[in-house]
Amino acid sequence: MKTLKPQDNDDRLVSLNELRSAIDVYMDIRLKINGTEWYIGAPQGPRIIASDDFSYQFKTNDPDEVLDYVINGKKIRDQWREIEVIAM
């Protein structure tokens, strides 16, 4: 897994399209949203969104469903600017 730094000394996404493209090609993505780590990827089968301890998982093969997934009352697509990229 490649560690991504979109801009020097920055761990934020450059655009929503950057995240959507990574989801669309089934990249393994680790993000931090409001202090909680999340995983988006397809380790064995359909793509999943999982909380940091994998205690909760949402399965989908649609990138838009991933972006519409609600975390802390907001869709991922509506909070992409605040998301910290751990690895992509």
**Structural domains of the chain, count:** 1
Asked if the structure places residue 1 within a domain, the reply is no
Asked if the structure places residue 71 within a domain, the reply is yes
pLDDT (tens digit, 0 to 9) for every residue of the chain, 88 residues total? 444 444 444 788 889 999 999 999 989 999 999 899 999 998 777 788 888 877 777 888 899 999 999 998 999 999 999 999 999 8
Global pTM reads 0.79
Asked if the structure places residue 50 within a domain, the reply is yes
Asked if the structure places residue 20 within a domain, the reply is yes
Asked if the structure places residue 8 within a domain, the reply is no
Asked if the structure places residue 3 within a domain, the reply is no
Asked if the structure places residue 75 within a domain, the reply is yes
Asked if the structure places residue 48 within a domain, the reply is yes
Q: Residue 58: which domain range?
A: 16-87
SS (H, E, C) 2-66: CCCCCECCECECCCHHHHHHHHHCCCCEEEEECCEEEEEECCCCCCEEEECCCCCEEECCCHHHH
